[in-house]
């Protein structure tokens, strides 16, 4: 017989994977349920399947039906613990349906808890050997002629062949079997199986013969050679009948090399598994297609499943969440392409078998074979789900604290006095325009940001507090420099901790940005001293500055000149073209004069078309002539139609009166201004475009003045005066609350004259002014009594003049009127006091006001904001109503300054619990805006012009509320910024239209981020309350407006379609802002 043995492939690779793939035998890891967990290339090529195709099947699927029961029985015995391994010959179906004989050797690997983990199967292709064996059996049953051929086949078989007699003695043995055992074939004849089996059992042959009668058997055992050495053997036995006798046939194969290879594989894998299992991270290996080929115990714990259930599954299909699938797949494909060697750090969500999501961080590296080809990916992962949850919780707590701090809009600071280190919160830094941690952490760096003019005061405040903390809490207001070099006003408040000896240790506090409040106060102070139309100094500031100039003149022995300027023909311009054009004329003239006067001079608007100039530090009177002549020259230059848009040039001139200080007799500021006024009248007598010096010897001006006074007196006597009544309403309800009585003069020479044409002259004569005032009150009381008798429960407001306000006889006069008209109650009369007149002698006026209020009269402060106003003065005047001057109301839709003053006045009224009434409401938009700001009461041309008494009841009976007003609602402080942004946008659109109409030479900003509306939209402090979708819509529409404007400007054609789109976008933006206000 010919001895042959299978050659074992020497496994030299260090790692289990390389051993597995390099083996010449088919090797597989099989789950207890029969599914393939891992297969090598040799097994795939043996069965003609691809790896993916084979992994989709079980070993049962490819096993020949006649061999399946035996195979499953062995499997069950191993699972029951009866055997720890088995070997058998069996048949598999290849992919093409053909049959291959294989020798299968199986070992079961157990988990530490005693549960089965997986099988390791080693498969050897014995298709040729089985063919030899079958041929022998076939020949033996042939004729004697075939017997010799049969024996030759046995002799040359690669397997050891033995024929046993029925009693178990060797009848025939081939060379292969004899060589395996170390005998010569002839020496083995007559021997029994127990002579070489290392574990013989009594009655083996009988039992064996009994078993093989029913079926072929296969078992692994250990054979002992003649020299005492042993080897592992796989024995396959069967019986055959010849000559009426049953013989036993066995085929034996030396499987020592195969068993050693299997043991080495198991050892290497167990060692690798040990290293993997003691690792503190998840270890997982994927093949080129993303199928899991290896996972350690930590990985199984993270995925909440066993290794048997995990290995062989596709990683992407089974363990990735949908949101991260494309991203991770992209990483994987990038790695598998070989473009990068590894991803040092990656992070993504996975899902476990129990559908729990976990966050894993990965370190990935490629796995290559000996030739350098990429065969897979080895990744280590760390479960950071809990860590991230703690981080998120900490972040949330930090954000909650920061939001709480941010909600106060205060910047925190913490100064460690012992080390001079200072901490600044994020809000502290952003308040000054810095990003995170840009400011140095020292108190010295913080102090360097304080305005030089405020630094000493701020330092003193800190030291005073630290030296005597119980005296008063620390609070200080000063300016700090921002990153862009501008200054912000802040109010700092804080508290320090001290050592036992009183040494300060730590100073903690916060800064509040009060820039807006300071600027608002500055604006209000400015408005109280400046003319709202021209921005020039008003009468109050003029008087203050004139007094200062006189004081300096006395000290320096220099002269002061006062110029009183009155425009010639201005009333005609107003009457012909309207007040809006008149305002433009006044602004233009003011600008021209401002270019002429010296920087040290003061130009003021006294009211109407009257201006004044203070010129100080003069050596002689002739110095002023050059400036006077230039003033007359620039004033009389035509005002172009491009400015006024009235269809023609407008011409105007001025008359100037001049007085000087010092004089031979003592004279004060009011007297100087009055003298200049008288000189101005003298210049008018000389004709237009003239100037005149005040001359004590001249009575011409006084005579003219007296003539006008006498005409006014005659008007009172001849009953030429009359009262008109302008309605005042509650705009939100449409309720008529009363009227303001306004005087008119039916002048036989000049027609119906308003109060501005004669009251200024009358005010210069107290007696005449008193007569006019008394006449007005008598008429008002009489008319109100008539309305009361007709059933109208109205109130009437009456203006009182300065001399009445300072006379106790006035209160007695009103008491007499109440007695004469019992229908009228004191509460039905509201007394309106000009702000400027009330402040001339506030202490005396306060006493008169209190007396009037004690009688039941209500007091209103008229034209509020046109004189010098402070909170202190307002506190001293116990008024019931503040009336916003019409100049602010009419300008508030076109100038943000006027809107700010209106808002401030409303806020002051609320603070002092006063009713507030707006004058000069000439457009519906005026009223709507006022309601939104909190002012419900108003009067003006939009409601009604002043009416004669005969028309009042007719108007009252037919008046219908304005729907826009009744539907309007007050907005909170947060939404008031929307009003400002809407105003700024409307101004921008108006400027664009003027430019497109060639009415302006300068373009407003075309960049959507540089216009005032864009700045507001990008200010998170003002817009973070607006929902994100609405903010996005506002930005889109706003950007579209700027884009369309730029496109129109690029074209030389009119572009009507683009202009229509621009108008539509503008309307949409206005409507969107209006919705925010609702």
User: Would you list the DSSP string of 75-95?
Assistant: HHHHHTTS-SEEEEEEEEE-T
Report angle CA 904, 907, 909 to the nearest 5 degrees: 110
Closest CA to 946 of 755, 723, 677: 723
863-903: per-residue pLDDT in tens? 776 655 555 566 677 789 999 999 889 888 877 778 888 88
Instruction: Mention every residue, 6+ apart, whose C-beta is less than 8 A from residue 1022.
Output: 974, 977, 1016
CB-based contact 235:249 (threshold 8 Å): no
* pLDDT, position 151: 65
Of the listed ranges 167-181, 244-258, 550-564, 610-624, the one predicted with least confidence: 244-258
**Segment 486-503 mean pLDDT:** 88
Residue 223: exposure state from Cβ atoms within 10 A (0-12, 13-18, ≥19): buried
Closest CA to 235 of 220, 215, 246: 220
CA distance 473 to 625: 59
Highest mean pLDDT among 437-451, 809-823, 856-870: 809-823
Q: Which residue has the higher pLDDT, 25 or 825?
A: 825
Q: Please check the confidence at residue 760 and state whether its pLDDT lies above 70.
A: yes
* pLDDT, position 342: 63
**Segment 771-792 mean pLDDT:** 95
**Segment 761-775 mean pLDDT:** 85
Instruction: Give 417-424 contacts, CB < 8 A, sequence gap 24+.
Output: 417/443, 417/496, 417/504, 417/505, 417/506, 417/507, 418/505, 418/506, 420/444, 422/446
Stretch (H or E) spanning 42: helix 41-47
- Mean model confidence pLDDT for the chain: 84
* pLDDT, position 752: 93
Considering only CA atoms, give the Rg of the chain.
55
Length of the chain: 1078
Q: Please check the confidence at residue 15 and state whether its pLDDT lies above 60.
A: no
* pLDDT, position 517: 85
Q: State the pTM of this model.
A: 0.40
* pLDDT, position 699: 45
Q: How far is CA 380 from CA 86, 301, 317, 327, 471, in A?
A: 36, 14, 19, 18, 65
Closest CA to 43 of 106, 121, 116: 121
Instruction: Mention every residue, 6+ apart, whose C-beta is less than 8 A from residue 177.
Output: 1, 3, 159, 160, 161, 162, 185, 188, 252
Q: Which residue has the tokens 């909440």?
A: 304
* 145 — pLDDT class (breaks 50, 70, 90): very low
Highest mean pLDDT among 135-139, 556-560, 744-748: 744-748
DSSP 8-state assignment for residue 398: H
CA distance 540 to 44: 105
Q: Please check the confidence at residue 2 and state whether its pLDDT lies above 50.
A: no
* pLDDT, position 992: 85
Q: Please check the confidence at residue 371 and state whether its pLDDT lies above 60.
A: yes
Residue 468: count other Cβ atoms within 10 Å of its Cβ. Answer: 9
**Segment 393-405 mean pLDDT:** 63
CB-based contact 836:539 (threshold 8 Å): yes
For the chain, the first-to-last Cα distance in angstroms comes to 108
458-469: per-residue pLDDT in tens? 889 888 888 888
Q: Which residue has the higher pLDDT, 345 or 51?
A: 51
Q: Which residue has the higher pLDDT, 257 or 146?
A: 257
987-1017: per-residue pLDDT in tens? 888 888 888 877 777 888 888 888 888 888 8
CB-based contact 303:319 (threshold 8 Å): yes
* 500 — pLDDT class (breaks 50, 70, 90): confident
Reduced to 3 states (helix: H, G, I; strand: E, B; else coil), residue 695 is: coil
Tell me what percent of the residues of the chain surpass a pLDDT of 90: 31
265-281: per-residue pLDDT in tens? 677 666 666 666 666 78
Tell me what percent of the residues of the chain surpass a pLDDT of 70: 88
Q: Which residue has the higher pLDDT, 136 or 397?
A: 397
43-101: per-residue pLDDT in tens? 998 899 998 988 888 888 899 988 989 899 999 998 988 888 888 889 999 988 889 99
* pLDDT, position 791: 92
């Amino acid at each position: 017989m010919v001895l042959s043995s299978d050659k074992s492939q020497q496994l030299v690779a260090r790692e289990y994977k390389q051993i597995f793939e390099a083996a010449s035998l088919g090797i597989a890891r099989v789950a207890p349920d029969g599914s393939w967990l891992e297969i090598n290339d040799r097994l795939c090529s043996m069965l003609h399947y691809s790896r993916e195709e084979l992994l989709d099947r079980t070993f049962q699927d490819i096993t020949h039906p006649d061999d399946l029961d035996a195979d499953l029985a062995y499997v069950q015995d191993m699972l029951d613990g009866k055997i720890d391994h088995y070997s058998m010959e069996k048949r598999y179906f290849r992919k093409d349906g053909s049959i291959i004989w294989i020798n299968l050797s199986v070992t079961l690997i157990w988990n530490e808890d005693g549960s089965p983990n997986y099988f390791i199967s080693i498969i050897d292709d014995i298709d040729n050997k089985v063919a030899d064996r079958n041929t022998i059996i076939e020949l033996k049953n042939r004729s004697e002629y075939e017997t010799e051929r049969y024996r030759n086949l046995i002799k040359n078989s690669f397997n050891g062949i033995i024929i046993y007699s029925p009693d178990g003695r060797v009848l025939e043995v081939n060379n292969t079997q004899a060589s395996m055992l170390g005998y010569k074939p002839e020496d083995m004849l007559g021997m029994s199986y127990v002579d070489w089996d290392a574990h013989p059992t009594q009655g083996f042959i009988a039992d064996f013969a009994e078993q093989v009668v029913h079926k072929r058997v296969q078992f692994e055992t250990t054979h002992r050679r003649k020299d005492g050495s042993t080897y592992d053997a796989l024995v396959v036995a069967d019986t055959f009948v010849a000559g009426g006798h049953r013989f036993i046939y066995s085929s034996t194969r030396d499987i020592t090399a195969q068993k050693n290879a299997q043991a080495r594989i198991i050892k290497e894998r167990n060692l690798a598994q040990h290293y993997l299992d003691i690792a503190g991270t998840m270890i997982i290996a994927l093949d080129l297609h993303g199928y899991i080929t290896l996972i350690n115990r930590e990985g199984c714990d993270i995925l909440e499943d066993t290794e048997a259930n995990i290995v062989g599954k596709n990683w992407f299909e089974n363990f990735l969440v949908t949101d991260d699938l494309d991203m991770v797949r992209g990483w994987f494909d990038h790695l598998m392409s070989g473009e990068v060697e590894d991803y040092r750090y990656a992070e993504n969500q996975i899902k476990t078998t129990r559908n729990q999501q976990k966050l894993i961080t990965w370190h990935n590296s490629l796995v290559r074979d000996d030739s350098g080809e990429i065969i897979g990916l080895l990744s280590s992962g760390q479960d950071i789900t809990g860590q991230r949850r703690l981080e998120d919780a900490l972040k949330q707590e930090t954000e909650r604290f920061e939001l709480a701090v941010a909600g106060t809009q205060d910047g925190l600071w913490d100064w460690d006095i012992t080390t001079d280190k200072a901490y600044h919160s994020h809000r502290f830094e952003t308040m000054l325009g810095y990003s995170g941690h840009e400011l140095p952490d020292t108190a010295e760096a913080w102090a360097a940001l304080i305005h030089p003019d405020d630094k000493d005061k701020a330092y003193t405040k800190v030291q005073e507090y630290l030296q005597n903390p119980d005296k008063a809490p620390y609070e200080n207001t000063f300016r700090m420099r921002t990153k862009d070099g501008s200054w912000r006003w802040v109010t700092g408040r804080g508290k320090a901790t001290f050592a036992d000896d009183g040494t300060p240790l730590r100073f903690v506090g916060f800064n509040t940005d009060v820039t807006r409040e300071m600027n608002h106060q500055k604006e209000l102070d400015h408005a109280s001293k400046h003319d709202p139309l021209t921005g020039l100094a008003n009468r109050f500031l003029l008087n203050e500055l004139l007094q200062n100039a006189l004081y300096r003149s006395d000290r320096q022995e220099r002269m002061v000149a006062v110029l009183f300027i009155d425009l010639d023909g201005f009333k005609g311009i107003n009457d012909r073209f309207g007040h809006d054009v008149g305002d433009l004329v006044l602004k233009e003239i003011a600008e021209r004069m401002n270019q002429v006067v010296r920087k040290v001079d003061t130009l003021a608007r006294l009211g109407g078309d009257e201006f004044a100039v203070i010129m100080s530090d003069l050596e002689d009177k002739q110095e002023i002539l050059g400036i006077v002549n230039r003033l007359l020259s620039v004033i009389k230059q035509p005002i172009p139609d491009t400015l006024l848009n009235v269809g023609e040039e407008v011409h105007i001139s001025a008359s100037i009166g001049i007085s000087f200080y010092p004089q031979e007799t003592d004279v004060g500021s009011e007297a100087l201004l009055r003298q200049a006024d008288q000189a101005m009248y003298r210049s008018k007598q000389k004709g237009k475009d003239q100037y005149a010096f005040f001359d004590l010897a001249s009575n011409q001006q006084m005579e003219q003045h007296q003539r006008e006074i006498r005409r006014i007196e005659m008007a009172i006597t001849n009953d030429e005066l009359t009262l008109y009544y302008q309605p005042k309403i509650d705009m939100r309800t449409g309720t008529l609350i009363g009227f303001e009585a306004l005087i008119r003069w039916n002048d036989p020479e000049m027609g119906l004259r308003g109060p501005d044409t004669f009251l200024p002259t009358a005010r210069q004569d107290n007696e005449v002014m008193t007569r006019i005032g008394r006449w007005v009150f008598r008429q008002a009381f009489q008319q109100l009594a008539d309305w009361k008798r007709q059933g109208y429960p109205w109130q009437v407001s009456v203006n009182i003049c300065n001399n009445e306000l300072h006379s106790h006889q006035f209160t007695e006069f009103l008491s007499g009127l109440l007695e004469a008209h019992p229908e009228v109650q004191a509460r039905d009369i509201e007394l309106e006091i000009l702000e400027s007149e009330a402040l001339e002698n506030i202490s005396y006026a306060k006493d008169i006001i209190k007396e009037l209020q004690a009688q039941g009269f209500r007091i209103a402060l008229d034209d509020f904001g046109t004189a010098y106003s402070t909170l202190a003065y307002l506190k001293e005047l116990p008024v019931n109503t503040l009336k916003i001057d019409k100049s602010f109301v009419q300008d508030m839709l076109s100038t943000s300054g006027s809107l700010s003053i209106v808002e401030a006045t409303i806020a002051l009224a609320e603070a002092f619990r006063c009713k507030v009434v707006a004058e000069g409401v000439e457009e519906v938009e005026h009223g709507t805006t006022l309601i939104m700001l909190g002012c419900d009461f108003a009067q003006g041309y939009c409601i009604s012009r002043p009416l004669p008494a005969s028309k009042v009841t007719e108007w009252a009976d037919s008046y219908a509320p304005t729907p826009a007003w009744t539907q309007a609602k007050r907005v909170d402080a947060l939404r008031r910024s929307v009003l400002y942004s809407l105003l700024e946008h409307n101004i921008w659109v108006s400027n664009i239209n003027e430019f497109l109409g060639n009415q302006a030479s300068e373009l407003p900003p075309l960049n959507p981020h540089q216009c005032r509306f864009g700045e507001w939209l990008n200010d998170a402090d003002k817009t973070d309350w607006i929902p994100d979708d609405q903010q996005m819509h506002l930005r889109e529409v706003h950007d579209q407006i700027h884009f369309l404007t730029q496109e129109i400007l690029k074209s030389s054609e009119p572009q009507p379609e683009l202009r229509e789109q621009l108008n539509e976008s503008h309307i949409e933006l206005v409507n969107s802002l209006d919705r925010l206000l609702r």
